[in-house]
Every structure is written in structure tokens, then in C-alpha cells.
Structure 1
Amino acid sequence: PSEMEKWFEFWKEERMNWYKSIFTHPENLGFYEHEKLAHYAKKAFDINYEASPIGKEMEGIHWRGDWDLAGHSKFSGVDQRKLYPQYRRDFWRC
């Protein structure tokens, strides 16, 4: 949890780098940061391609916090967390 921001930024850049590696005009790629967020989102970005024939948004990258796994735990009745004694805390399973 303390490194969530770091890993969100890492994967956001990894996704952009992948698009840059396959597009002939990577200068047309950019991030769009959502100002209005869904109730579960901490951050939300789209990767846009300005000259795309299928529209601007290529991919959405959203930091959803623990929304999904907490929901699965609640509705399935199965705790999706795992205790790591060396850290003296539990984490959501991925």
C-alpha cells in the first residue's frame, strides 16, 4: 500500500512506452488525466492518440484502490487478504 503511487506511475509509463514502440508517430500519443473520478478511483488517465481512426482513447489506466478485491471478499464471503508476518500486516491478494 505504501508503494501504490510508485507502481501506478511505473505501469502508466510502461503502457505508454509500449504504445510508443508500435506507433509510427509516437508524438501523437499523450496522457489525459480525468478530473472527475468514479467513486472507486484514486486516479484515472487515458492514453490518447490524436490521429487514431478508431477514436482518441486507446486505453484507460485507473488506480482503483482495493475496490475490486474488497467487493469480491464481501460478496463471496471469502477473505481475499493474505497475512505476511514479516511485514506484520495483511495485503490484498493479486
Structure 2
Amino acid sequence: MSDVQNWIKETVTQNPVVLFMKGTAQFPQCGFSGRAVQILKACGVQNLVTVNVLEDAEVRQGIKDYSSWPTIPQLYVKGEFIGGSDIMGEMFENGELQTLLKD
């Protein structure tokens, strides 16, 4: 496992909620990342850790390899890959995401 993969694994397992995104929670750099942040805020997530993939090309590629998922943003809850903004939106609509984030 590469250093980047190790770092990603540590980040997602040591923080309850991690969003790999373009930009920051305060200044999202793409619509999908902005939507993902809004959904998490609507769920009342307080301890959100965000990783700006635009700051590091290795992390940007590394997270896609780590999850075998081609797009950003990517949400991890308790070390588990949940999905991107579309999946987050669906899960939010049906209440699954709120339940997952409550524990």
C-alpha cells in the first residue's frame, strides 16, 4: 500500500465522517461537493472532516483508487465508503443517511 493509500485509510478510519471533495466546506469548488456539504449540514453533522483533493493530485487519484469510485466528492462514515453526492442525496431523501450519521 502506498503512503497516500495509508494516509487515506488512516483519515477515514480515525474520523467518524470524512468528505473528500473539491474545495472546502466553506468554499466548495464544484456543485457536487457543495451539495454534499449541504446534505451533511442538513443532517446536523458537527464533526465533519473534509479533504480538499484539489490541493494534492496524489490524493485526488489515490481516493479514486482507494474506493474504486471514479468521481469526487466521496463520503466515508466510520471508515466505510458511502458514495458521492447523488447517492448521498438519495439516502438523505429516504432518511437512510440521517440514521447512518446518528450513531
TM-score (norm: length of structure 2): 0.29
Which protein is richer in helix relative to its size? 2
Q: Compare CA radii of gyration and give the structure with the larger one.
A: 1
Select the structure with the greater relative contact order (CA < 8 A; seq sep ≥ 6). Answer: 2
